[in-house]
Amino acid sequence: MGLFGFGKKKAKDDAVVDDEVKADDELAENTEPDDGESVDGIVVLPEPSASYEGRGETQGPWDVNDEDVPDYDDYLDLGAYYLPFLKGIELRIKANRSSKQILGATITYGSSSLEIEAFAAPKSMGLWDEVRADLLEANSTASEAEGVFGTELKLPVHVKGGRTVTTRIVGVDGPRWMLRGIFSGKAAVDADADETEALNRFFADIVVERGEEPLAPRDLIPMHPPVSPAERKAAKAKAEGEEGENADGKHLKNIPDQPKGPFDQDQQTEVKTTLSRGPMFSEVR
């Protein structure tokens, strides 16, 4: 079993692409907080509780089918989930070097980081209690703590250079999915820090799309490269326009290599990013 309890998905030949993707300008432009209680303009998060109740009713992370899901049209689309926008963040995409399969995303904000992964879960029960028990059994230094997202884990991790980093691991169960967040930096150790509040809110505002694909429990929900709101809207408009123009389908008969099946925005949209080197958070694994 791997360090974080998902050894099945962490084969030895997996390698994380050592690229840090800066979120494009759209990430910085939309900085309005979601509706909620505030004091002097600061969003107040719910008090810690023994179990994370109310997901999909008063707080997130959200499912795309939740009745009160926030409007995520302006979120960044990664397939398994949609990320909200927060000024000053950097986004790094984790991928398998050989297969190019995207495995997750890491948000860096100030001196803190948040690694995000979405897993398939059983229909009849959640996954976080079971995963948390596995982590405690596999790591003698891990300990439970009550936090904003219910029962969380504190786990000291040795990284390169002989340093030890304390991580805070949270898990939230949704309809047939579990969203896991691994916080490091101030967001892992200082509950009152601005970075902690900002990244807690960021995690709570994520919208998950499980999809209908059959997946075994603990399988990663499939992801695709980031698609910005502008690219998503352009792809949708193009698809709708082509559907209208080609309603009769007659003039498509002579087109060579005509694509089959429905429009796939992952294949039709070019994702433009700015690359720069950065520290590898995933080295804590």
Task: Please give the full DSSP string across 52-93, using - where no structure is assigned.
Answer: ---BTTTB-SEETT-TT----TTSEE-SSEEE---TT-EEEE
Is residue 169, in this structure, part of any structural domain at all?
Answer: yes
Q: What is the token pair recorded at 9?
A: 């998905």
Is residue 41, in this structure, part of any structural domain at all?
Answer: no
Which of 67-71, 92-96, 271-275 is the least confident region?
271-275
Is residue 42, in this structure, part of any structural domain at all?
Answer: no
Which residues pair with residue 95 across a beta bridge?
102
Burial (CB count within 10 angstroms: exposed 0-12, middle 13-18, buried 19+), residue 46: middle
Q: Does residue 137 register a pLDDT over 50?
A: yes
List all residues 6 or more positions away from 226 whose beta carbon is below 8 Å from its beta carbon.
21, 76, 77, 78, 91, 93, 271, 273
Taking CA atoms, 4 is separated from 75, 136, 154, in Å, by 28, 10, 12
Q: Does residue 49 register a pLDDT over 70?
A: no
pTM comes to: 0.70
Is residue 40, in this structure, part of any structural domain at all?
Answer: no
In percent, the amount of the chain with pLDDT more than 90 equals 53
- CA 170, CA 151: separation in Å to the nearest integer? 7
Is residue 39, in this structure, part of any structural domain at all?
Answer: no
Amino acid at 18: D
Q: What is the DSSP letter of 46?
A: P
Is residue 162, in this structure, part of any structural domain at all?
Answer: yes
Mean per-residue pLDDT for 99-112? 94
Number of domains in the chain: 1
Say which residue the tokens 């984790």 belong to.
94
- CA 240, CA 228: separation in Å to the nearest integer? 18
Helix (H) or strand (E) holding 203: helix 194-204
For strands 207-208 and 62-63, give the pairing: parallel
Q: What CATH number corresponds to the domain at position 148?
A: 3.40.1000
* Residue pLDDT, tens place only, 142-200: 999 999 999 999 999 988 888 889 999 999 999 999 999 999 999 999 999 999 999 99
Is residue 246, in this structure, part of any structural domain at all?
Answer: no
Q: Quick one: pLDDT at residue 22?
A: 41
Is residue 249, in this structure, part of any structural domain at all?
Answer: no
Say which residue the tokens 């949609």 belong to.
82
Full domain range(s) for residue 104: 62-240
* Residue pLDDT, tens place only, 199-235: 999 999 999 999 999 999 999 999 999 999 999 889 8
Greatest mean pLDDT range, 35-49, 201-215, 262-276: 201-215
C-alpha dihedral sign at 55, 207, 224, 245: positive
